[in-house]
Structure 1
Protein backbone atom coordinates (compact mmCIF):
# COMPACT_ATOMS: atom_id res chain seq x y z
CA UNK A 1 0.00 0.00 0.00
CA UNK A 2 1.04 3.64 -0.40
CA UNK A 3 1.60 5.39 2.91
CA UNK A 4 0.87 9.12 3.34
CA UNK A 5 4.55 9.97 3.87
CA UNK A 6 7.97 8.73 4.94
CA UNK A 7 7.33 9.60 8.59
CA UNK A 8 4.09 7.61 8.72
CA UNK A 9 4.13 4.94 11.43
CA UNK A 10 3.48 1.72 9.54
CA UNK A 11 3.68 -0.37 12.72
CA UNK A 12 4.37 0.50 16.33
CA UNK A 13 4.37 -1.41 19.59
CA UNK A 14 4.38 0.69 22.74
CA UNK A 15 3.26 0.64 26.36
CA UNK A 16 0.76 2.82 28.18
CA UNK A 17 -0.35 3.20 31.77
CA UNK A 18 0.74 1.01 34.63
CA UNK A 19 1.76 2.04 38.13
CA UNK A 20 4.52 4.45 37.14
CA UNK A 21 5.26 8.13 37.85
CA UNK A 22 3.75 10.59 35.34
CA UNK A 23 7.22 11.70 34.18
CA UNK A 24 8.13 8.10 33.35
CA UNK A 25 5.01 7.67 31.24
CA UNK A 26 5.77 10.89 29.37
CA UNK A 27 9.34 9.91 28.50
CA UNK A 28 8.74 6.19 27.86
CA UNK A 29 9.84 5.05 24.41
CA UNK A 30 7.93 2.67 22.15
CA UNK A 31 9.33 -0.86 22.01
CA UNK A 32 9.58 -0.55 18.23
CA UNK A 33 8.52 1.95 15.58
CA UNK A 34 8.53 0.93 11.91
CA UNK A 35 8.22 3.82 9.48
CA UNK A 36 6.88 3.83 5.94
CA UNK A 37 10.30 4.49 4.40
CA UNK A 38 11.90 1.51 6.17
CA UNK A 39 13.40 3.15 9.24
CA UNK A 40 13.04 1.06 12.39
CA UNK A 41 13.64 2.71 15.77
CA UNK A 42 14.08 0.74 18.99
CA UNK A 43 15.51 1.39 22.46
CA UNK A 44 19.08 0.13 22.53
CA UNK A 45 21.02 -1.41 25.41
CA UNK A 46 21.26 0.88 28.44
CA UNK A 47 24.34 0.94 30.64
CA UNK A 48 23.44 -0.41 34.09
CA UNK A 49 24.73 2.30 36.39
CA UNK A 50 23.16 4.60 38.96
CA UNK A 51 22.30 7.28 38.36
CA UNK A 52 21.49 6.32 34.78
CA UNK A 53 22.54 8.47 31.80
CA UNK A 54 20.31 11.42 30.97
CA UNK A 55 20.01 10.37 27.32
CA UNK A 56 18.14 7.24 26.27
CA UNK A 57 19.86 4.99 23.75
CA UNK A 58 17.74 4.90 20.58
CA UNK A 59 18.92 2.74 17.70
CA UNK A 60 17.97 3.08 14.03
CA UNK A 61 18.01 0.34 11.40
CA UNK A 62 16.76 0.14 7.83
CA UNK A 63 14.64 -2.41 6.04
CA UNK A 64 13.07 -2.35 2.57
CA UNK A 65 9.63 -0.90 1.98
CA UNK A 66 8.57 -4.36 0.85
CA UNK A 67 9.58 -5.73 4.25
CA UNK A 68 7.68 -2.91 5.93
CA UNK A 69 4.58 -4.23 4.20
CA UNK A 70 5.41 -7.77 5.34
CA UNK A 71 5.43 -6.58 8.95
CA UNK A 72 2.15 -4.74 8.47
CA UNK A 73 0.63 -7.93 7.04
CA UNK A 74 1.91 -9.89 10.05
CA UNK A 75 0.24 -7.40 12.38
CA UNK A 76 -3.08 -7.60 10.58
CA UNK A 77 -2.90 -11.40 10.55
CA UNK A 78 -2.22 -11.36 14.32
CA UNK A 79 -5.45 -9.45 14.88
CA UNK A 80 -4.30 -5.86 15.25
CA UNK A 81 -7.27 -3.62 14.54
CA UNK A 82 -9.71 -6.52 14.40
CA UNK A 83 -12.93 -5.75 16.25
CA UNK A 84 -14.69 -8.13 18.58
CA UNK A 85 -11.57 -9.97 19.80
CA UNK A 86 -11.76 -10.83 23.52
CA UNK A 87 -8.32 -10.67 25.14
CA UNK A 88 -9.64 -10.93 28.67
CA UNK A 89 -8.14 -9.36 31.79
CA UNK A 90 -5.66 -11.43 33.83
CA UNK A 91 -5.74 -11.45 37.62
CA UNK A 92 -2.91 -8.93 38.09
CA UNK A 93 -2.88 -5.22 38.90
CA UNK A 94 -0.90 -2.06 38.14
CA UNK A 95 0.68 -3.35 34.92
CA UNK A 96 0.85 -1.49 31.59
CA UNK A 97 -1.12 -2.08 28.43
CA UNK A 98 0.66 -3.16 25.26
CA UNK A 99 -0.62 -1.05 22.37
CA UNK A 100 -0.28 -2.00 18.71
CA UNK A 101 -0.68 0.57 15.95
CA UNK A 102 -0.76 -0.35 12.27
CA UNK A 103 -1.52 1.71 9.16
CA UNK A 104 -3.64 -0.12 6.60
CA UNK A 105 -5.64 0.90 3.51
CA UNK A 106 -8.57 1.34 5.91
CA UNK A 107 -6.65 3.84 8.03
CA UNK A 108 -4.79 3.66 11.32
CA UNK A 109 -5.83 0.69 13.44
CA UNK A 110 -5.17 0.12 17.15
CA UNK A 111 -5.31 -2.81 19.54
CA UNK A 112 -4.52 -2.40 23.23
CA UNK A 113 -4.19 -5.32 25.64
CA UNK A 114 -3.66 -5.22 29.39
CA UNK A 115 -0.73 -7.14 30.93
CA UNK A 116 0.07 -8.90 27.66
CA UNK A 117 3.54 -10.04 28.69
CA UNK A 118 2.35 -11.76 31.88
CA UNK A 119 2.51 -15.55 31.92
CA UNK A 120 -0.73 -17.23 30.90
CA UNK A 121 -1.82 -20.27 32.85
CA UNK A 122 -4.92 -21.66 34.51
CA UNK A 123 -4.48 -19.23 37.41
CA UNK A 124 -4.51 -16.19 35.12
CA UNK A 125 -8.29 -16.11 34.86
CA UNK A 126 -8.08 -16.21 31.05
CA UNK A 127 -10.04 -18.64 28.91
CA UNK A 128 -8.24 -20.79 26.30
CA UNK A 129 -9.65 -18.55 23.54
CA UNK A 130 -8.35 -15.43 25.27
CA UNK A 131 -4.94 -17.03 25.77
CA UNK A 132 -4.82 -17.97 22.09
CA UNK A 133 -5.68 -14.40 21.02
CA UNK A 134 -2.95 -13.07 23.29
CA UNK A 135 -0.42 -15.58 21.98
CA UNK A 136 -0.91 -14.28 18.45
CA UNK A 137 0.06 -10.80 19.64
CA UNK A 138 2.98 -12.10 21.67
CA UNK A 139 4.25 -13.92 18.59
CA UNK A 140 3.94 -10.64 16.69
CA UNK A 141 6.03 -8.85 19.33
CA UNK A 142 8.73 -11.51 18.98
CA UNK A 143 8.67 -11.24 15.19
CA UNK A 144 8.91 -7.44 15.10
CA UNK A 145 11.63 -7.24 17.77
CA UNK A 146 13.74 -9.92 16.03
CA UNK A 147 13.87 -8.54 12.52
CA UNK A 148 16.87 -10.59 11.46
CA UNK A 149 15.09 -13.78 12.47
CA UNK A 150 11.86 -12.68 10.79
CA UNK A 151 13.18 -11.07 7.59
CA UNK A 152 16.67 -12.54 7.31
CA UNK A 153 20.01 -11.10 8.42
CA UNK A 154 20.75 -9.54 5.03
CA UNK A 155 17.42 -7.71 5.04
CA UNK A 156 18.24 -5.59 8.09
CA UNK A 157 20.68 -2.70 7.98
CA UNK A 158 23.40 -1.94 10.50
CA UNK A 159 22.22 -0.43 13.76
CA UNK A 160 23.23 3.21 14.27
CA UNK A 161 22.50 5.89 16.86
CA UNK A 162 19.28 7.78 16.11
CA UNK A 163 19.83 11.54 15.82
CA UNK A 164 16.59 13.44 16.49
CA UNK A 165 15.64 16.79 15.01
CA UNK A 166 13.78 17.78 18.18
CA UNK A 167 14.31 16.98 21.85
CA UNK A 168 11.68 17.32 24.57
CA UNK A 169 12.53 18.11 28.17
CA UNK A 170 10.12 17.16 30.97
CA UNK A 171 11.00 19.47 33.86
CA UNK A 172 10.23 19.35 37.57
CA UNK A 173 11.73 21.20 40.54
CA UNK A 174 15.05 19.62 41.44
CA UNK A 175 15.44 17.96 44.83
CA UNK A 176 18.53 16.26 46.22
CA UNK A 177 18.50 12.44 46.00
CA UNK A 178 17.23 10.95 49.24
CA UNK A 179 19.85 8.22 49.25
CA UNK A 180 22.79 10.58 49.42
CA UNK A 181 23.94 9.91 45.86
CA UNK A 182 25.92 12.78 44.40
CA UNK A 183 23.99 14.49 41.60
CA UNK A 184 27.13 16.11 40.26
CA UNK A 185 27.60 19.77 39.37
CA UNK A 186 24.82 22.01 38.14
CA UNK A 187 24.63 22.39 34.36
CA UNK A 188 23.17 25.36 32.51
CA UNK A 189 20.19 24.19 30.44
CA UNK A 190 20.93 25.06 26.79
CA UNK A 191 17.35 24.72 25.52
CA UNK A 192 14.19 26.83 25.87
CA UNK A 193 13.54 28.28 29.32
CA UNK A 194 12.35 25.78 31.91
CA UNK A 195 9.89 24.54 33.05
CA UNK A 196 7.85 25.27 29.93
CA UNK A 197 4.17 24.52 29.40
CA UNK A 198 2.38 22.78 32.27
CA UNK A 199 1.51 19.14 31.65
CA UNK A 200 -1.43 19.10 34.02
CA UNK A 201 -2.68 20.60 37.25
CA UNK A 202 -1.01 19.15 40.31
CA UNK A 203 1.68 17.23 38.41
CA UNK A 204 4.42 19.79 38.89
CA UNK A 205 5.71 19.02 35.40
CA UNK A 206 6.46 21.28 32.47
CA UNK A 207 7.56 20.53 28.94
CA UNK A 208 9.78 22.30 26.44
CA UNK A 209 10.92 21.27 22.98
CA UNK A 210 14.36 22.16 21.66
CA UNK A 211 14.62 22.30 17.88
CA UNK A 212 17.22 24.91 16.98
CA UNK A 213 18.94 24.04 20.27
CA UNK A 214 18.55 20.26 19.84
CA UNK A 215 22.25 19.71 19.13
CA UNK A 216 23.31 21.70 22.19
CA UNK A 217 20.86 19.80 24.41
CA UNK A 218 22.10 16.45 23.11
CA UNK A 219 25.74 17.43 23.63
CA UNK A 220 25.13 18.59 27.21
CA UNK A 221 22.89 15.63 28.06
CA UNK A 222 25.51 13.17 26.83
CA UNK A 223 27.64 14.19 29.83
CA UNK A 224 24.75 14.31 32.34
CA UNK A 225 22.76 11.84 34.40
CA UNK A 226 19.07 11.44 35.14
CA UNK A 227 19.52 13.37 38.41
CA UNK A 228 21.73 16.18 37.12
CA UNK A 229 20.49 19.58 38.35
CA UNK A 230 19.87 21.76 35.30
CA UNK A 231 19.72 25.52 35.87
CA UNK A 232 17.30 27.85 34.10
CA UNK A 233 15.74 31.12 35.20
CA UNK A 234 17.70 31.13 38.43
CA UNK A 235 16.28 27.76 39.57
CA UNK A 236 17.41 24.14 39.44
CA UNK A 237 15.42 21.49 37.61
CA UNK A 238 15.32 17.77 37.07
CA UNK A 239 14.81 17.17 33.34
CA UNK A 240 13.68 13.96 31.71
CA UNK A 241 15.16 14.14 28.23
CA UNK A 242 13.12 12.52 25.48
CA UNK A 243 14.30 12.68 21.84
CA UNK A 244 11.24 13.06 19.64
CA UNK A 245 10.68 10.35 17.04
CA UNK A 246 10.09 11.28 13.38
CA UNK A 247 6.28 11.29 13.68
CA UNK A 248 6.23 13.21 16.98
CA UNK A 249 5.71 16.97 16.77
CA UNK A 250 6.05 18.21 20.34
CA UNK A 251 5.00 17.82 23.96
CA UNK A 252 1.47 16.91 22.88
CA UNK A 253 2.83 13.72 21.31
CA UNK A 254 4.12 12.34 24.61
CA UNK A 255 2.29 10.09 27.05
CA UNK A 256 -0.62 9.37 24.74
Structure 2
Protein backbone atom coordinates (compact mmCIF):
# COMPACT_ATOMS: atom_id res chain seq x y z
CA UNK A 1 0.00 0.00 0.00
CA UNK A 2 1.29 3.42 -0.93
CA UNK A 3 0.30 6.86 0.24
CA UNK A 4 1.21 10.11 -1.46
CA UNK A 5 1.74 13.68 -0.37
CA UNK A 6 -1.35 15.83 -0.68
CA UNK A 7 -1.33 16.56 -4.41
CA UNK A 8 -4.37 18.71 -5.01
CA UNK A 9 -6.21 19.14 -8.27
CA UNK A 10 -6.24 22.79 -9.32
CA UNK A 11 -8.08 24.50 -12.13
CA UNK A 12 -5.98 25.05 -15.22
CA UNK A 13 -4.49 28.52 -15.44
CA UNK A 14 -1.68 30.13 -17.35
CA UNK A 15 0.60 30.26 -14.34
CA UNK A 16 -0.05 26.60 -13.54
CA UNK A 17 0.79 25.58 -17.08
CA UNK A 18 4.01 27.55 -16.84
CA UNK A 19 5.05 25.99 -13.54
CA UNK A 20 3.80 22.43 -13.90
CA UNK A 21 3.68 21.36 -17.51
CA UNK A 22 7.11 22.49 -18.69
CA UNK A 23 9.35 20.97 -16.01
CA UNK A 24 12.60 19.77 -17.52
CA UNK A 25 13.61 16.14 -16.85
CA UNK A 26 16.82 15.37 -15.04
CA UNK A 27 19.62 13.31 -16.50
CA UNK A 28 19.37 9.58 -15.82
CA UNK A 29 21.17 8.23 -12.78
CA UNK A 30 20.63 6.26 -9.58
CA UNK A 31 20.48 9.50 -7.66
CA UNK A 32 21.30 12.99 -8.81
CA UNK A 33 21.31 16.46 -7.35
CA UNK A 34 19.99 17.97 -10.57
CA UNK A 35 21.48 19.51 -13.68
CA UNK A 36 21.65 23.32 -13.39
CA UNK A 37 19.77 25.29 -15.99
CA UNK A 38 21.24 28.33 -17.66
CA UNK A 39 21.62 31.41 -15.50
CA UNK A 40 20.06 31.84 -12.03
CA UNK A 41 17.41 34.58 -12.11
CA UNK A 42 17.35 35.06 -8.31
CA UNK A 43 19.09 33.89 -5.16
CA UNK A 44 22.62 33.71 -6.56
CA UNK A 45 24.14 30.77 -8.44
CA UNK A 46 22.24 27.73 -7.20
CA UNK A 47 21.01 29.54 -4.08
CA UNK A 48 17.67 28.91 -2.39
CA UNK A 49 14.80 30.98 -3.80
CA UNK A 50 11.72 29.31 -2.27
CA UNK A 51 11.12 27.01 0.69
CA UNK A 52 7.93 25.62 2.17
CA UNK A 53 8.26 23.87 5.51
CA UNK A 54 6.30 23.00 8.63
CA UNK A 55 7.48 23.98 12.08
CA UNK A 56 6.26 23.04 15.54
CA UNK A 57 3.33 20.72 16.03
CA UNK A 58 2.93 17.68 18.24
CA UNK A 59 5.91 15.55 17.15
CA UNK A 60 8.86 13.91 18.88
CA UNK A 61 12.19 15.75 19.18
CA UNK A 62 14.04 13.40 16.80
CA UNK A 63 11.28 13.75 14.19
CA UNK A 64 11.40 17.51 14.67
CA UNK A 65 15.16 17.67 14.09
CA UNK A 66 14.99 15.30 11.11
CA UNK A 67 11.96 16.86 9.43
CA UNK A 68 12.49 17.82 5.79
CA UNK A 69 11.01 20.92 4.15
CA UNK A 70 8.00 20.18 2.01
CA UNK A 71 9.55 21.96 -0.95
CA UNK A 72 12.87 23.67 -1.74
CA UNK A 73 13.47 25.50 -5.01
CA UNK A 74 16.90 26.74 -6.09
CA UNK A 75 17.95 29.41 -8.57
CA UNK A 76 19.55 26.85 -10.88
CA UNK A 77 16.14 25.20 -11.30
CA UNK A 78 16.35 22.32 -8.83
CA UNK A 79 13.12 21.47 -7.02
CA UNK A 80 13.68 19.10 -4.07
CA UNK A 81 10.73 17.52 -2.27
CA UNK A 82 9.52 14.46 -0.37
CA UNK A 83 8.21 11.72 -2.64
CA UNK A 84 5.73 8.87 -2.06
CA UNK A 85 6.17 6.69 1.03
CA UNK A 86 4.82 3.26 1.89
CA UNK A 87 1.93 3.29 4.36
CA UNK A 88 3.37 0.59 6.60
CA UNK A 89 4.93 0.53 10.07
CA UNK A 90 7.79 0.74 10.57
CA UNK A 91 8.62 2.91 7.59
CA UNK A 92 11.86 2.85 5.61
CA UNK A 93 15.08 4.08 7.22
CA UNK A 94 15.76 6.56 4.44
CA UNK A 95 13.20 9.18 3.38
CA UNK A 96 12.20 9.25 -0.28
CA UNK A 97 13.57 12.61 -1.44
CA UNK A 98 13.19 13.54 -5.11
CA UNK A 99 14.50 16.28 -7.38
CA UNK A 100 13.32 17.71 -10.69
CA UNK A 101 14.20 20.74 -12.80
CA UNK A 102 12.50 24.01 -13.72
CA UNK A 103 13.51 26.58 -16.29
CA UNK A 104 14.76 30.05 -15.21
CA UNK A 105 11.44 31.50 -16.36
CA UNK A 106 9.51 29.07 -14.19
CA UNK A 107 11.63 29.93 -11.15
CA UNK A 108 11.09 33.65 -11.69
CA UNK A 109 7.33 33.17 -12.06
CA UNK A 110 7.21 31.02 -8.95
CA UNK A 111 8.87 33.68 -6.79
CA UNK A 112 6.56 36.34 -8.24
CA UNK A 113 3.52 34.26 -7.33
CA UNK A 114 4.84 33.72 -3.81
CA UNK A 115 5.09 37.46 -3.16
CA UNK A 116 1.65 38.01 -4.70
CA UNK A 117 0.26 35.34 -2.35
CA UNK A 118 1.41 37.29 0.71
CA UNK A 119 4.94 36.01 1.34
CA UNK A 120 6.20 39.43 2.35
CA UNK A 121 6.51 41.54 5.52
CA UNK A 122 3.28 42.73 7.10
CA UNK A 123 0.90 39.99 5.94
CA UNK A 124 -1.39 39.07 8.83
CA UNK A 125 -2.61 35.46 8.87
CA UNK A 126 -4.07 35.61 12.38
CA UNK A 127 -4.05 32.94 15.07
CA UNK A 128 -6.92 30.44 14.80
CA UNK A 129 -8.32 28.46 17.70
CA UNK A 130 -6.47 25.22 16.92
CA UNK A 131 -4.12 23.51 19.36
CA UNK A 132 -0.92 21.57 18.55
CA UNK A 133 -1.05 22.32 14.82
CA UNK A 134 2.03 22.95 12.73
CA UNK A 135 2.92 26.35 11.35
CA UNK A 136 3.40 26.63 7.60
CA UNK A 137 6.46 28.77 6.90
CA UNK A 138 7.12 30.01 3.37
CA UNK A 139 10.36 31.81 2.48
CA UNK A 140 11.06 33.48 -0.85
CA UNK A 141 14.24 35.19 -2.04
CA UNK A 142 13.93 37.94 -4.65
CA UNK A 143 15.90 41.00 -5.65
CA UNK A 144 14.44 42.65 -2.54
CA UNK A 145 16.03 40.02 -0.30
CA UNK A 146 14.64 37.18 1.81
CA UNK A 147 11.00 37.38 2.91
CA UNK A 148 9.12 34.91 5.12
CA UNK A 149 5.47 34.37 5.96
CA UNK A 150 4.18 32.07 8.72
CA UNK A 151 0.62 30.83 9.14
CA UNK A 152 -0.36 28.57 12.04
CA UNK A 153 -2.87 25.77 11.37
CA UNK A 154 -3.15 26.93 7.76
CA UNK A 155 -5.21 23.94 6.62
CA UNK A 156 -6.63 22.88 10.00
CA UNK A 157 -8.51 26.08 10.89
CA UNK A 158 -12.26 26.19 10.29
CA UNK A 159 -13.43 28.60 7.57
CA UNK A 160 -15.72 30.25 10.15
CA UNK A 161 -13.12 30.44 12.94
CA UNK A 162 -14.29 33.41 15.05
CA UNK A 163 -10.70 34.30 16.01
CA UNK A 164 -9.89 35.23 12.41
CA UNK A 165 -10.92 38.47 10.76
CA UNK A 166 -12.20 38.60 7.19
CA UNK A 167 -8.86 40.03 6.03
CA UNK A 168 -6.92 37.28 7.79
CA UNK A 169 -9.14 34.62 6.23
CA UNK A 170 -8.57 36.14 2.80
CA UNK A 171 -4.80 36.17 3.36
CA UNK A 172 -4.86 32.51 4.39
CA UNK A 173 -6.93 31.60 1.32
CA UNK A 174 -4.42 33.30 -1.00
CA UNK A 175 -1.47 31.52 0.59
CA UNK A 176 -3.26 28.15 0.50
CA UNK A 177 -4.02 28.65 -3.19
CA UNK A 178 -0.36 29.32 -3.91
CA UNK A 179 0.70 26.19 -2.02
CA UNK A 180 -1.87 24.14 -3.94
CA UNK A 181 -0.20 25.29 -7.16
CA UNK A 182 3.28 24.42 -5.87
CA UNK A 183 2.03 20.89 -5.21
CA UNK A 184 1.87 20.50 -8.98
CA UNK A 185 5.66 20.81 -9.06
CA UNK A 186 5.96 17.47 -7.27
CA UNK A 187 3.68 15.50 -9.61
CA UNK A 188 4.17 14.09 -13.07
CA UNK A 189 7.16 12.45 -14.74
CA UNK A 190 10.78 13.55 -14.66
CA UNK A 191 11.65 13.37 -10.95
CA UNK A 192 14.77 11.49 -9.88
CA UNK A 193 16.11 10.37 -6.49
CA UNK A 194 18.00 13.15 -4.73
CA UNK A 195 21.53 12.10 -3.80
CA UNK A 196 22.87 14.37 -1.05
CA UNK A 197 26.46 15.45 -0.79
CA UNK A 198 26.07 15.21 3.00
CA UNK A 199 23.87 12.78 4.91
CA UNK A 200 23.04 13.57 8.53
CA UNK A 201 21.94 11.13 11.22
CA UNK A 202 19.90 12.16 14.26
CA UNK A 203 20.85 9.66 16.97
CA UNK A 204 19.37 8.56 20.29
CA UNK A 205 19.95 5.49 22.50
CA UNK A 206 18.01 2.45 21.34
CA UNK A 207 15.15 1.35 23.60
CA UNK A 208 13.90 -2.24 23.47
CA UNK A 209 10.27 -2.59 22.30
CA UNK A 210 7.64 -2.97 24.99
CA UNK A 211 5.72 -6.19 25.64
CA UNK A 212 2.82 -5.00 23.48
CA UNK A 213 5.06 -4.48 20.44
CA UNK A 214 6.78 -6.96 18.10
CA UNK A 215 10.17 -8.29 19.15
CA UNK A 216 13.51 -6.61 18.69
CA UNK A 217 14.22 -6.02 14.98
CA UNK A 218 17.44 -7.26 13.46
CA UNK A 219 20.37 -4.97 14.24
CA UNK A 220 22.53 -3.42 11.53
CA UNK A 221 26.18 -2.44 11.91
CA UNK A 222 26.64 1.31 11.51
CA UNK A 223 29.22 1.89 8.73
CA UNK A 224 29.73 5.60 9.41
CA UNK A 225 31.67 7.57 12.04
CA UNK A 226 31.33 6.51 15.67
CA UNK A 227 27.92 7.15 17.25
CA UNK A 228 26.43 9.03 19.00
CA UNK A 229 28.29 12.07 17.61
CA UNK A 230 27.88 15.69 18.75
CA UNK A 231 25.05 16.75 21.11
CA UNK A 232 21.95 18.03 19.37
CA UNK A 233 19.32 18.24 22.12
CA UNK A 234 20.76 17.10 25.44
CA UNK A 235 17.52 16.87 27.48
CA UNK A 236 16.22 14.31 24.95
CA UNK A 237 19.65 12.62 24.59
CA UNK A 238 19.73 13.46 20.89
CA UNK A 239 23.00 13.74 18.99
CA UNK A 240 24.05 14.08 15.38
CA UNK A 241 26.70 12.93 12.93
CA UNK A 242 27.24 13.65 9.24
CA UNK A 243 28.72 11.41 6.56
CA UNK A 244 30.13 12.15 3.12
CA UNK A 245 31.94 10.31 0.34
CA UNK A 246 32.51 6.58 0.79
CA UNK A 247 31.01 6.53 4.29
CA UNK A 248 27.84 8.18 2.96
CA UNK A 249 27.62 5.55 0.23
CA UNK A 250 28.06 2.78 2.80
CA UNK A 251 25.30 4.19 5.02
CA UNK A 252 22.94 4.58 2.05
CA UNK A 253 23.60 0.97 1.06
CA UNK A 254 23.01 -0.34 4.59
CA UNK A 255 19.82 1.72 4.91
CA UNK A 256 18.21 -0.21 2.06
CA UNK A 257 17.93 -3.20 4.42
CA UNK A 258 16.83 -1.18 7.45
CA UNK A 259 13.73 0.66 8.63
CA UNK A 260 12.88 3.51 10.95
CA UNK A 261 13.06 1.41 14.14
CA UNK A 262 16.17 -0.61 13.25
CA UNK A 263 18.84 -0.66 15.99
CA UNK A 264 22.16 0.46 14.55
CA UNK A 265 25.21 -0.91 16.38
CA UNK A 266 28.25 1.30 16.99
CA UNK A 267 30.83 0.92 19.74
CA UNK A 268 28.99 -2.13 21.09
CA UNK A 269 25.81 -0.10 21.75
CA UNK A 270 22.47 0.09 19.97
CA UNK A 271 21.19 3.38 18.57
CA UNK A 272 18.02 4.59 16.88
CA UNK A 273 18.99 6.67 13.85
CA UNK A 274 16.86 9.08 11.85
CA UNK A 275 18.57 9.64 8.51
CA UNK A 276 18.22 13.11 7.07
CA UNK A 277 19.69 14.05 3.67
CA UNK A 278 21.06 17.58 3.89
CA UNK A 279 19.83 19.97 1.21
CA UNK A 280 22.16 22.03 -1.01
CA UNK A 281 21.96 25.08 1.28
CA UNK A 282 22.64 23.03 4.44
CA UNK A 283 26.12 22.18 5.68
CA UNK A 284 25.90 20.14 8.88
CA UNK A 285 24.22 19.26 12.16
CA UNK A 286 23.87 22.93 13.10
CA UNK A 287 21.12 23.23 10.48
CA UNK A 288 19.16 20.47 12.23
CA UNK A 289 19.83 21.96 15.65
CA UNK A 290 18.07 25.10 14.47
CA UNK A 291 14.94 23.09 13.57
CA UNK A 292 11.84 23.88 15.59
The TM-score normalised by the length of structure 1 is 0.92
Matches within 5 A, 1:59-98: 59-83=98-122, 85-98=123-136
Q: What do the CA deviations read for 1:11-45 (whole angstroms, capped 9, x no partner)?
A: 11001111211111111111111111111111111
- Secondary structure at 1:123's aligned position in 2? coil
Paired residue for 1:102? 140
Q: Is the 1:120–1:131 contact (alpha carbons within 8 Å) kept by the matching residues of 2?
A: no
Give the RMSD, CA atoms, in angstroms.
Answer: 1.6
Paired residue for 1:238? 272
Paired residue for 1:205? 238
Structure 1 position 160, deviation (Å) = 1.0
Paired residue for 1:173? 205
Matches within 5 A, 1:130-169: 130-147=168-185, 158-169=190-201
Q: Is the 1:11–1:34 contact (alpha carbons within 8 Å) kept by the matching residues of 2?
A: yes
Q: Is the 1:190–1:217 contact (alpha carbons within 8 Å) kept by the matching residues of 2?
A: yes
Q: Is the 1:72–1:103 contact (alpha carbons within 8 Å) kept by the matching residues of 2?
A: yes
- Secondary structure at 2:236's aligned position in 1? coil
Cα distance in structure 2, aligned partners of 1:161 and 1:135:
32
Paired residue for 2:160? 122
Cα distance in structure 2, aligned partners of 1:147 and 1:54:
25
Cα distance in structure 1, aligned partners of 2:156 and 2:267:
45
- Secondary structure at 2:233's aligned position in 1? coil
Q: Is the 1:198–1:205 contact (alpha carbons within 8 Å) kept by the matching residues of 2?
A: yes
Cα distance in structure 2, aligned partners of 1:209 and 1:148:
27
Structure 1 runs of 4+ aligned residues shifted over 4 Å read none
Q: Is the 2:42–2:141 contact (alpha carbons within 8 Å) kept by the matching residues of 1?
A: no
Aligned length: 248
> Structure 1 stretches of 5 or more lacking a match?
none
- Secondary structure at 1:199's aligned position in 2? strand
- Secondary structure at 1:184's aligned position in 2? coil
Structure 1 position 3, deviation (Å) = 2.8
Structure 1 position 148, deviation (Å) = 8.1
- Secondary structure at 2:161's aligned position in 1? helix
> Structure 2 stretches of 5 or more lacking a match?
1-40
Residues 124 and 210 of structure 1: CA distance in aligned 2, closer, same or farther (over 3 Å): farther
